[in-house]
Structure 1
């Protein structure tokens, strides 16, 4: 047993979605255990149902949280810290319920408590359904907000990772016509600086950050808009004067190809679909979201609960495998650098 491997807590996700299935399939993969010591947090009844239904070759063992650091982690052995409320002795896959929401919520809360106590080093969360969660918790917004609130973290963002690409977003869930209001010189500079600080906290020294253009062909010298020359390039130049290696603007139809070749350490994308179309076309099941700004790393597959596949034993586990491995990859370095990040955003 390699004591240097981080312990990654894996939350159950929505018990009537594909979460339990992709977790069990992931923990049957040797590559996961080459990087991490994964421990599941959830309802054992659900995992036993899914294992038997899908004939997944793993042993499920319930353990108490005070044994986490002493376990012998190995492929095919699924250790579960049991969350028994509610019991969920019978579930209907693909059908939302208050009980399923409560089970998912309790799993998340326990994972945060374990991470804050130091019992685990990082968290990988299986997908949940926000509509279902609001059936039980009307004020629920999402995973990220719950993690941020419970850890009292001052500033949290999501970085997307696939293969050797890391991507940050300027704007997320806003209408496309509203995007232009948020793309200012000051906002782009701030996003570049934040990405730089987060990347260094992940152990990537002096990272190169490529900034995507807004207009086709990066406006082709002003033929298709002037935002590149008027807003984006000045922000990049100011970042350079601050000692940050930012480059661009680079045409959005090429930047992800270059990123996949390893030309940059990260990409700053300007709006939601600019990045998500690229990443999810490349590998929808395998793309991972990394929550940065917490005292610990939290990752999650970028796909949802996939109710149409739930209980059919056809779910693809690649995103869960990647989530556990990426959480483990960054866990120790992030925890070591977290105090500096926290101080920076508290005093900003």
Structure 2
């Protein structure tokens, strides 16, 4: 559901109108039935909202996913009958949290195979949960995963991130050989698990022109290049550091299967500029696949029935495509990451 006062409920239901989703999976919504029935009626989406219990998920294939039928697990949270779309509230924050928690619970029990989350609002979450950082951090803590990696996928382009929600002035603390090497090892395993065999990986540079031999900073020479060279000795197919103003274009052209971005905006700008709505965020390193749209709650459009569901639809499709192979690889990935983290990497 995501944030109940954002565009999440609308784009979830709109996404479920695309029949191509049902060729790949049996989608079940987690959230508040009052909110979904409200947006369903307001936008004239024509769904019959059916409540399913956890036990029903074991026979989900028998439910009958006919056109116009939507199945929902009720989070049984606060009364949301009086919420206003586009207006933050403590109740909405609580419902968002309960939706995330219930989704994790169902996935950890093996009742669902993957999770596609709708957008949330961090400012709203802080009305009730002061320590809440974001989806990824919550999922890592809730599942006990040693690390949670963010991968953006836009068609054939995949982008990983060395750091996520870190102030730009602090990035240099994390651009270290060991951190980069750990990420390259994990990326290699993750991509193979997703069906990309012997993946071609590129590492973006930190400084302009990859520092031009040390003229503009020395991280390329002292940290990034040594990590790349050691990864190559381990058999990882990696190149870099490559100037950030060209490496993403090269990835888009198919030269690389994945790119390691060193900080948040470096990779976000590259993908969102190409196509904001088709970019999907994938969380890897959990016991299950998690995907989400690459946009926010867009309060200005909430409840107005004008929001595009494209990114939500793409998120559901990608989750379904990756879910089947992921659980088999989880044990290997968890062991490799755990071993790497004990070697001194700092995240």
TM-score normalised by L of structure 1:
0.91
Distance 1:149 1:178 in 2: 23
Match of 2:158 in 1: 166
SS in 2 for 1:37: coil
Distance 2:8 2:309 in 1: 9
SS in 1 for 2:169: helix
Contact 1:165–1:260, Cα closer than 8 Å, also in 2 = yes
* CA-CA distance at 1:225 after TM superposition: 4.5
* CA-CA distance at 1:119 after TM superposition: 0.9
Contact 2:186–2:333, Cα closer than 8 Å, also in 1 = no
Match of 2:8 in 1: 19
In the alignment, is residue 35 of structure 1 matched against residue 24 of structure 2? yes
* CA-CA distance at 1:86 after TM superposition: 1.6
Summarize deviations over 1:238-291 as a string: whole Å, max 9, x none: 111100000122221121112112221110011222111111111223322111
In the alignment, is residue 237 of structure 1 matched against residue 229 of structure 2? yes
* CA-CA distance at 1:66 after TM superposition: 1.7
* Cα distance change, pair 75–162 in 1 and its aligned pair in 2 (3 A): farther
SS in 1 for 2:203: strand
Match of 1:197 in 2: 189
SS in 2 for 1:146: helix
In the alignment, is residue 251 of structure 1 matched against residue 240 of structure 2? no
Match of 2:327 among 300, 316, 335: 335
Distance 1:164 1:253 in 2: 19
* CA-CA distance at 1:226 after TM superposition: 4.3
In the alignment, is residue 143 of structure 1 matched against residue 132 of structure 2? no
* CA-CA distance at 1:22 after TM superposition: 0.5
Distance 2:68 2:252 in 1: 32
Distance 1:330 1:185 in 2: 30
- What is the Cα-based RMSD across aligned positions, in Å? 1.9
Match of 1:83 in 2: 75
Match of 1:58 in 2: 47
Summarize deviations over 1:189-225 as a string: whole Å, max 9, x none: 2221121122223232211111112233334455545
Distance 1:293 1:225 in 2: 32
List gaps (5 residues or longer) in structure 1. Answer: 1-11
* Cα distance change, pair 115–91 in 1 and its aligned pair in 2 (3 A): same
Summarize deviations over 1:82-138 as a string: whole Å, max 9, x none: 223223123201111121112111111111111111111000111111222222233
Distance 2:337 2:300 in 1: 41
Contact 1:212–1:268, Cα closer than 8 Å, also in 2 = yes
List gaps (5 residues or longer) in structure 2. Answer: 341-347
Distance 1:83 1:272 in 2: 32
SS in 1 for 2:150: strand
Aligned structure 1 segments of 4 or more residues deviating by more than 6 angstroms: none
* CA-CA distance at 1:335 after TM superposition: 0.4
Say which is worse superposed, 287-296 or 229-238, in terms of deviation.
Answer: 229-238
Contact 2:39–2:303, Cα closer than 8 Å, also in 1 = yes
Match of 1:267 in 2: 259
Q: Map 1:90-109 onto structure 2 (within 5 A).
A: 90-109=82-101
